[in-house]
Chain A
Amino acid sequence: MLNTLDHIELSQVVEIVSVDHSPISSKLTEMGLVSGQLITTLFRAPFGDPIAIELNGTVLSLRLEEAQFIEVKA
C-alpha cells in the first residue's frame, strides 16, 4: 500500500517509491532518499514533528512537511 512518509508509524521498515517534485527534492535525494532505498522510522520529536529515520546506518531528522514528499510502501 502506498503512503507518504509523514503518515508512517514508528519502528516500521519501508521502501521509498518516489520523491515528489518540490523545492527541496534535490536535497532529499542528496541525503540518500532515493527510490528503492529502505528506511526505518525511529522517533518522533515531542509534539509529533519532526521525525527521525534511519537509512544505511545513519539517522536523519526531517519535518513532516518535508516527509510528505516521500512516497513509500511497506
Chain B
Amino acid sequence: MINNLYIMFPEIFLSLSIFFILMLGVFIKKSFNLIFNLTSLIIIITISIILTNPNNEERIFLESFIRDPFSNYFKILILLSTLFVLNSSKNFIIDNKLDKFEYPVIILLSILGMFFMVSSNDLILFYLGLELQSLSLYILASIDRDNLRSTESGVKYFVLSALSSGLLLYGCSLLYGFTGSTNFELIADQLNKDNTGAVFAMVFILVGLAFKVSAVPFHMWTPDVYEGAPTSITSFFAVVPKVAGLALLIKFMFVPFSNILLEWQTIIIFISIASMILGAIAAMIQKNFKRLLAYSSIGHIGYALAGVATGAITGYKSAIVYISIYVIMNIGAFSCLYLLKKDGQYKENISDLSGISKKNPLIAISLLIILFSLAGVPPLGGFFAKFYVFVAVLEKEMYALAIIGLITTVMSAFYYLKIIKTIYFDDSIITFEPTKNRTAQFSVIASCTILITFFLYPSILNNLVNTLFVS
C-alpha cells in the first residue's frame, strides 16, 4: 500500500506545507506577508503537482481514496479560484486588520478538506473531508472577531451547519446500516428502489449537501453569512465551497445513488426550481451588494442543479461548465468590491456605486460586463453557461424546468439591470480613491477578458469536461 502513496501526493504535500507554515507563523512575529506569499506558492506548486502527475484513475486505502480526472479537475478549479480570491483580497485583509497568519493557513486547511471530499470514494473519508472543510469555514466566517456582524455570522453558520452535518451523518449511518458498506461502489450495488430505508438515507445526505451549496430550502444562512463576514471571506465562501459541494452532488448521483436516480432526481428538480425562483425574487429588494450576490449565488446554484437534475452525463457536464464560469464571474464581481475604497472604508452598498461610470469608467465597464454575464445575456460567458445547461435539460425533455429557468433568468436580469442603472444612469455621489490594488485589478481584467472572449471558442470548457467522464 505504501508504494502507491504517490496517488495522494498533492494532499500529502498540502498537509505537510500547512504544518510548516503554521510553525513559521507561530515562531516568526509579524509573519502575515511571508505566510501569505508562501500560501500562494504552495497553491501554485500543488497545481503543478496535480498537472504533472498522471491523470488516470487510481485508488488507495481500500479503495476509499480515488484519484481520477474528475477529482483532479475540481482540485485545480478549487486551487485556481482560491489563488485569485486570496490574492485579490490581500489589500482588503491588511486594511481591515485581518492580517493574522492563521488566515491563509485556515484557508489551506479548508482546501485540504475539499480535496478529500472530491476524492472520496467512501462515506467515512467523505465525511471527514467535509468536516475539516466546515470547521475551517466556521472560523473563517468569524475571523473578524471584534466585529459583531462577523461573529454573529460565524455562530449562525456554525449552528446551522452543525445541524446539517448531523443530518448528513445520520444519513451516512443509515446508508451503512441498510447496505452494509461505506464504499460508494458497494453501496451502489446494494441499492435499489425497494430499499426504502436507503431512500431515507439518501434524503438526509441530500439535505446535508444542499446546505453546503446553499440551495433552497437550506439557504437561510447564506445572506447573513455573506453580509456579516468580511468581504474577503465572503468571496471565498461564494466560490470555493460551492465548487466542492457541487462536485460531491454529482459524485453521489453518479456513483452510490446511480440505481435510485429517479427518487434523487425528483428532489433535485424541486430544489433547483426553488433556488432559481427564490434567488431571482429575493435579490430584487437587496440594498447590500454582498447580500445581493448571496441571493444571486443561490439562483446560480439552481441553474447548476438543473443540469445535475437531468441525471445524464451531458447534464453533469453542463453543471460543471456552469460552475466553472460562475467561479470566473464571481471572482470578478468580488474583486470589483476591493477597488471601491473611500477614506479607508470599503463600500458595499449598491447605492454607493451610484454614477461611478463617470469617475471610474474602468470599474464601471467591468461591472457592466460581469453583471450582464451573470444575467446570462449573450455574447458573454454567462450566456453559454446557461445555454449548455438548457441544452442538457431539454435533451431530457424537461420542458417545465427549462421554461421556469428561463423565466427566472429574465426576473434576475431585472436586479442586475438595477445595479447597472445605478452605475450608469444615476448621478455620482462618491468619488472613490484611485487604488493601487494591482492584484484585484488583474483579477477583474482577467475575469472580464475571459467573459468577453468566451464566445470565440465556447467549447473550450466542454472539451476539458468531456475528458472527465470517460469511464
Partners in one complex: no
Contacts from B to A (Cβ < 8 Å): none
